[in-house]
Structure 1
Amino acid sequence: MSLESEEMSVVDHLTELRKRIIYVLIVFVAGLVVGLFCAKPIYNYLIHADLAEGFVLHAFSFWDGIGMYMKISMAVSLVATVPFIVYQLWAFISPGLRQAERSAALRYVPYVFILFLLGMAFAYYIVFPMALSFTISITRSMGLEETYGIAQYFSFMFSLVLPLALLFELPLLVMFLTKLRILNPLRLRKIRRYAYFVLVFIAVVITPPDFISDFLVTIPLLVLYEFSVLLSAFVFRKQLAADMAREAAYVRKEDS
């Protein structure tokens, strides 16, 4: 292959990547618009839920209301955009994959959406209430007068919910990389201690600066990692069985 053709190939790849990024941006912006229309009912649900009862939310800035609407619309947009990003990534790399790998990767796309929603539900209904109750109890035990801003309330919520929802994609990512034979359960068990360190570091970085939030996020991440190892072992065993079947068929063919 000539240097010119290689350069054209690189240019073609960059053009294709730019096109995929533009598609993602269009879907993200469209999701923001839809999210703005959905923001009011979602906001009404969030502030009237049991989590928000017991204290009054205040606005300390003219932009607090707008900022809250934008946070909600961004969350709505991410729900639609994350699986679309995965699909565009698949479309970009699929020409370099074998047919079996393309089919396997495409089957994972719907589960990206499901796991993202499960992560959001887990974070909102389990992790967030526990973290909120802990911080409020500490505040009240110190005899402090509670004055909560709406911007702080939603920032605290989304700093827990959105990162944890994204991290719920870990099992799916591990299954996909195992399917491509990049990872396997033996390798995952070998790097367990390093993976734990990275997950704890991520939990500390993405959560508010208090121990209980770090703990409530770290434990699910470690459980997700171990669950990912089990899924990787399941995929790996199927791969070994398929390899043995192909080898046996080849030997029978050679003997006949």
Structure 2
Amino acid sequence: MTEDPPKATSPKDRTANMSFLDHLEELRWRIIKGLSGVGIGIIIAFFLGDFLVDEVMLGPTQSDFFVYKLLGIEAIDLTIQSRKLPGQFFTYWGTLIVFGIIVGSPLFFYQVWSFVEPAMDRAEKWKSVGHTIFITFFFLLGVAFGYFILVPFALQFFSQFQISDAIHNDFDINEYFSSLTMWVLSCGFIFQLPVISYFLSKFGLLTPEFLKTYRRHAIITCFILSAFLTPPDPVSQVLIAIPLILLFQLSIWISGIGVRKRNKSLEKAFGNG
């Protein structure tokens, strides 16, 4: 070739002339706007306070909790006590804040992505709204998995586990709330694995072949994790392990999509598309 290839016209970038301090200022406002969604969620939770505490937060402590019947778990009532003076106060507001985080997560994810988006590949970048739906879906799916699957098994296992008949299991309300929050939110972040898989693959840092190579290791890890989180019976372990294995398999498939999109972007950039 004797002629230079035509130069592609770069799309307008609103951040092109921004200094480092300007970027920090925009990030600050993005975070504030994202946290405003959490604030709105807390206000909504305030009007639903009694329901959230009695039916949602304390629901799994009752043996007639509907999930136990669906999963076939032989449940017992948990005895919850408040051993600290502000124990119930902190638990009440903690419940409202956690609910606010879950409800406000779509707006927060949207603001974070709107800040990150200009740095992405402009030839084929995700729209902020679509990307927010993608992230939020897996976050809420993980939260649902944690609350409806992990929490019932974990609570009943720890409540019925005894090293001696002389020791009675009475749980502090703050410890109960902390464990419940940790399990639920942790699952929300663990279920971001397909999202992370997509982006790492689109940036060329991960391939489905790599994930397939370590698929057996991942399956074993899922069963080991489920063994720690459930009572020592095969049914409970399988019920926890299968969704985790399916999540890993989904990550492999999504990684393939990310790799194909990256290849198309490269072909287009080099004029072969």
Aligned to 2:62: 52
CA deviation vs aligned residue, 1:87-146 (integer Å, no higher than 9, x gap): 222211222334454335642211322222221221111111111111122138644223
Q: Displacement, 1:7? A: 10
**Could you tell me which amino acid in structure 1 is paired with residue 229 of structure 2?**
I
Percentage of pairs with the same residue: 26
| Residues 191 and 239 of structure 1, relative CA distance in 2, 3 Å threshold | same
Aligned to 1:228: 251
CA distance in 2, matches of 1:73, 1:211: 29
Aligned to 1:77: 100
How many residue pairs were aligned? 236
Contact 2:142 2:191 in 1 (8 A): yes
| Residues 7 and 127 of structure 1, relative CA distance in 2, 3 Å threshold | same
| Residues 56 and 179 of structure 1, relative CA distance in 2, 3 Å threshold | same
Does the alignment pair 1:22 with 2:45? Answer: no
Contact 1:35 1:73 in 2 (8 A): yes
| Residues 7 and 149 of structure 1, relative CA distance in 2, 3 Å threshold | same
| Residues 250 and 60 of structure 1, relative CA distance in 2, 3 Å threshold | closer
Which has the larger displacement, 97-106 or 124-133? 97-106
| Residues 80 and 191 of structure 1, relative CA distance in 2, 3 Å threshold | same
CA distance in 2, matches of 1:129, 1:184: 35
CA deviation vs aligned residue, 1:65-101 (integer Å, no higher than 9, x gap): 1111122112212113333232222211222334454
Aligned to 2:145: 122
Does the alignment pair 1:211 with 2:228? Answer: yes
Structure 2, unaligned runs of 5 or more: 1-15, 64-76
| Residues 169 and 75 of structure 1, relative CA distance in 2, 3 Å threshold | same
* Partner secondary structure for residue 73 of structure 1: helix
Does the alignment pair 1:144 with 2:154? Answer: no
Contact 1:167 1:221 in 2 (8 A): no
Q: Tell me how large the CA RMSD over aligned residues is.
A: 4.0
| Residues 228 and 43 of structure 1, relative CA distance in 2, 3 Å threshold | same
Alignment of 1:96-245 (within 5 A): 96-103=119-126, 106-139=129-162, 142-189=165-212, 211-212=228-229, 219=241, 221=244, 223-237=246-260, 240=263, 242=264
Contact 2:157 2:231 in 1 (8 A): no
* Partner secondary structure for residue 103 of structure 1: coil
CA distance in 1, matches of 2:85, 2:124: 52
Contact 1:36 1:69 in 2 (8 A): no
CA deviation vs aligned residue, 1:136-195 (integer Å, no higher than 9, x gap): 221386442232222222222112111111221211222233334443223444677998
CA distance in 2, matches of 1:57, 1:68: 12
Which has the larger displacement, 133-142 or 212-221? 212-221
CA distance in 1, matches of 2:156, 2:18: 58
| Residues 244 and 149 of structure 1, relative CA distance in 2, 3 Å threshold | closer
CA distance in 1, matches of 2:93, 2:23: 34
* Structure 1 counterpart of 2:19, from 5, 9, 15: 9
Contact 1:120 1:164 in 2 (8 A): yes
**Could you tell me which amino acid in structure 1 is paired with residue 113 of structure 2?**
W
Structure 2-normalised TM-score?
0.68
| Residues 213 and 163 of structure 1, relative CA distance in 2, 3 Å threshold | farther
Structure 1-normalised TM-score?
0.72
Instruction: Name the one with the larger helix percent.
Output: 1
CA deviation vs aligned residue, 1:225-255 (integer Å, no higher than 9, x gap): 3321222124434655x479869x959xxxx
Does the alignment pair 1:62 with 2:71? Answer: no
* Partner secondary structure for residue 139 of structure 1: coil
CA deviation vs aligned residue, 1:38-61 (integer Å, no higher than 9, x gap): 332111213663642323322222
**Could you tell me which amino acid in structure 2 is paired with residue 52 of structure 1?**
Q
CA distance in 2, matches of 1:244, 1:140: 61
